[in-house]
């Protein structure tokens, strides 16, 4: 009798231990076990490495001196921090001017594109009119149509008007809602305004406010997060866009990505290969410095405005419909 009971007790104790061990390793309802944690972090680090590797590679290469570049022993830790590459890349990219151009060529269209997108987004969300669905379909169509199907006639028109090479060639379509990925911004605003309560607007209407006034003084302020998000994304996409820039700004304003895309050529104009000594020839360290200088403003923007990127779509609900 007693024997059987102790065995049963032992058994229970044993099972309890197993349970605890299992909870420690694999987790319980309330907390994650160690195995899961290790697996989770291992995967997270592996994936994080995928994204950080090119950046690290770019940065490390960019501070290598010519001697370090040739030295096969030097992989990840340069012997010295060599800033000469940045000095050269800075000159080759004509950095201050290109930076200012890039900022203007991405901020100006973005502002106007955001404004127009919010206008039509509001119209579609708040008013019912015949052809609403067709307009929605057309908006989706503008997202799908590849730029090269519409770009040539536009370029020829701008050439006739003497606008080729001027930022106006980018600003004009953007201000009419035909800019880069305008459709996405329209959908963001459509979703945002749909989700905002109508009560305030109706009260203002009863008080005799005009529709435009209601939009400007009630709808716009309450959709402010959507404006900020649309603007930030628009700036980033314009900044990174090269196809439209190459076509529309050809021979005129030079943005950073444009300068980067003809980096080798520009370098050899500044530092003719026959003239400069071998250490001043174009090498990957200088190229990487140029690339890094190119994305540096975006990185700064990203780290400063991180919160907005992270919260962006959670707030605006782009994932709907």
Partner 1 sequence: MNRHMSSFGRLSLRAREALHGYGFALPWLAGFALFTLLPLVETLRYSLNRVTVTVTGIRLEFVEWANYTRALFTDPSFVELLIGYAIETLIAVPIVLIFSMIIALFLNVNFKLKGVFRTIFFLPVVITSGPVIRELAEQGATSAPGIADVPAVADFLAQLPSALRNPLEYVLTSFILILWFSGVQILIYLASLQKIDRSIYEAAAIDGASAWEIYWKITLPSLATATMVNAVYTIITLSHFSENRVIKYIYNQTYAVQGGIGYASAMAFIYFMAMAALLAIVYLFLMLWARRGSR
Nearest CA to 105 out of 97, 116, 117 is that of 97
With binding defined as CB under 8 A, does residue 69 bind partner 1?
Answer: no
Size of the site for partner 1 (CB under 8 A): 92
With binding defined as CB under 8 A, does residue 76 bind partner 1?
Answer: no
Whether the Cβ atoms of residue 79 and residue 68 lie closer than 8 Å to each other? yes
Q: Which is nearer to partner 1, 88 or 287 (CB)?
A: 287
With binding defined as CB under 8 A, does residue 88 bind partner 1?
Answer: no
Separation CA 263–CA 253 (nearest Å): 16
Q: Give residues 216-245 in contact with partner 1 (rule: CB under 8 A).
A: 236, 239-243
105, 171, 173, 192: which one contacts partner 1 (CB under 8 A)?
173
With binding defined as CB under 8 A, does residue 321 bind partner 1?
Answer: yes
Q: Which is nearer to partner 1, 110 or 294 (CB)?
A: 294
With binding defined as CB under 8 A, does residue 126 bind partner 1?
Answer: yes
Q: Give residues 250-289 in contact with partner 1 (rule: CB under 8 A).
A: 257, 260-261, 284, 287-288
Roughly how many angstroms between the first and final C-alpha of the chain, as a whole number?
69
Separation CA 171–CA 104 (nearest Å): 10
Separation CA 271–CA 215 (nearest Å): 56
Nearest CA to 256 out of 100, 137, 124, 133 is that of 100
Q: Which is nearer to partner 1, 10 or 19 (CB)?
A: 19
User: Beta-strand (E) ranges in 178-250?
Assistant: none
90, 107, 168, 178: which one contacts partner 1 (CB under 8 A)?
178
Name residue, tokens 């005799």. Answer: 208
**What is the CA angle 155-158-161, rounded to 5?**
155
- Using DSSP's 3-state secondary structure scheme, residue 197 falls into coil
Q: Give residues 37-56 in contact with partner 1 (rule: CB under 8 A).
A: 37, 40-41, 43-44, 47-48, 50-55
Q: Which is nearer to partner 1, 104 or 240 (CB)?
A: 240
Q: Give residues 197-216 in contact with partner 1 (rule: CB under 8 A).
A: 211-212, 215
With binding defined as CB under 8 A, does residue 156 bind partner 1?
Answer: yes
Cα dist from 319 to 197, 260, 307, whole Å: 20, 34, 19
61, 65, 102, 283: which one contacts partner 1 (CB under 8 A)?
61
């Amino acid at each position: 009798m007693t024997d059987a009971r102790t065995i049963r007790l032992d058994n229970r104790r044993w099972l309890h231990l197993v349970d605890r061990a299992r909870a420690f390793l694999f987790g319980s309802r309330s907390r994650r076990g160690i195995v899961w944690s290790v697996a989770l972090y291992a995967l997270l680090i592996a994936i994080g490495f995928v994204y950080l590797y090119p950046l690290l590679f770019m940065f490390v290469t960019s501070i290598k001196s010519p001697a370090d570049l040739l030295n096969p022993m030097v992989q990840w830790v340069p012997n010295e921090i060599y800033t000469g590459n940045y000095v050269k890349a800075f000159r080759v990219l004509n950095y201050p001017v290109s930076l200012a151009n890039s900022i203007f060529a991405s901020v100006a269209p973005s502002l106007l594109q955001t404004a127009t997108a919010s206008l039509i987004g509001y119209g579609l969300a708040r008013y019912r009119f015949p052809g609403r669905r067709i307009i929605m379909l057309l908006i989706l169509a503008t997202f799908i149509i590849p730029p090269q199907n519409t770009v040539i006639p536009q370029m020829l028109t701008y050439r006739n008007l003497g606008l080729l090479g001027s930022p106006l060639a980018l600003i004009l379509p953007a201000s009419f809602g035909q800019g880069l990925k305008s459709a996405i911004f329209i959908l963001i605003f459509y979703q945002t305004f749909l989700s905002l309560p109508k009560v305030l607007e109706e009260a203002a209407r009863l008080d005799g406010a005009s529709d435009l006034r209601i939009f400007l003084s009630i709808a716009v302020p309450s959709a402010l997060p959507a404006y900020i998000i649309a603007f930030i994304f628009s700036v980033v996409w314009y900044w990174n866009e090269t196809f439209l820039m190459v076509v529309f700004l050809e021979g005129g304003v030079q943005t950073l990505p444009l300068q980067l895309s003809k980096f080798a050529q520009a370098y050899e104009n500044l530092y003719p290969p026959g003239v400069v000594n071998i250490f001043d020839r174009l090498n990957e360290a200088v190229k990487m410095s140029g690339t890094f200088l190119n994305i540096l403003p975006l990185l700064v923007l990203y780290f400063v405005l991180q919160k907005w990127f992270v919260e962006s779509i959670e707030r605006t609900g782009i994932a709907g419909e």
